Amino acid sequence: QVQLEESGGGLVQPGGSLRLSCTGSGFTFNNTFGSYGMSWHRQSPGKERELVASISGRGSSTTYRDSVRGRFTVSRDNAKNTVYLQMNSLQPEDTAVYYCKAIRGAATIYWGQGTQVTVSS
C-alpha cells in the first residue's frame, strides 16, 4: 500500500532552480516513512537511470553523484513523509525524469512515478 508521488518538476532556464518533492503515503506506525532510506534517480531518453542523491532514514547521511554535488541538496521531513531535492544552477544536462525511491533494509523497495525536469533556454 506504500506509494510515492513526486512533484515540482517543470521547465527552467539554465542557471535556474527547482525543488522536487516526494511524498509517501500508506506508511503506518509499524512501517514508518523514517525507516526507509530515500534516494533520487533520473533518466534521460536513451540513457540508463542513474542515482542522483540519497538520504538515510533520519536524514543524517547524504550522498550525491559527482555531477550534482554542490548544486543539489537532498533533505527530508519525516513528519510530512516527504523527501526533497533542491536543485540549483541547473544545466541542460540535468534534463531528465526524476524518480524517488524508498528502500527498507535491502529488500523492500518502492518507486514513484517520476516528474519531468527540463532545463532549456
Q: What is the pLDDT of residue 54?
A: 98
Percentage with pLDDT > 70 across the chain: 100
Question: Mind listing the pLDDT tens digit for each residue in 30-80?
Answer: 999 999 999 999 999 999 999 999 999 999 999 999 999 999 999 999 999
Cα–Cα distance measured from residue 82 to residue 101, given in angstroms and rounded to the nearest whole number: 12
Categorize the per-residue pLDDT at 27 as very low, low, confident or very high, splitting at 50, 70 and 90.
very high
**What phi and psi, each to the nearest 5 degrees, are found at residue 108?**
-85, 115
Q: Are strands 108-111 and 50-55 parallel, antiparallel or unpaired?
A: unpaired
The partner residues of 117 in beta bridges, in order of sequence, read: 10, 96
- Please check whether residue 19 is in contact with residue 100, taking contact to mean a CB–CB distance below 8 angstroms: no
If you average pLDDT over residues 96-114, what whole number do you get?
94
Burial label, 98 (beta-carbon count in 10 A; 0-12, 13-18, 19+): buried
The partner residues of 75 in beta bridges, in order of sequence, read: 84
Residue 107: pLDDT over 90: no
Q: What is the pLDDT of residue 108?
A: 83
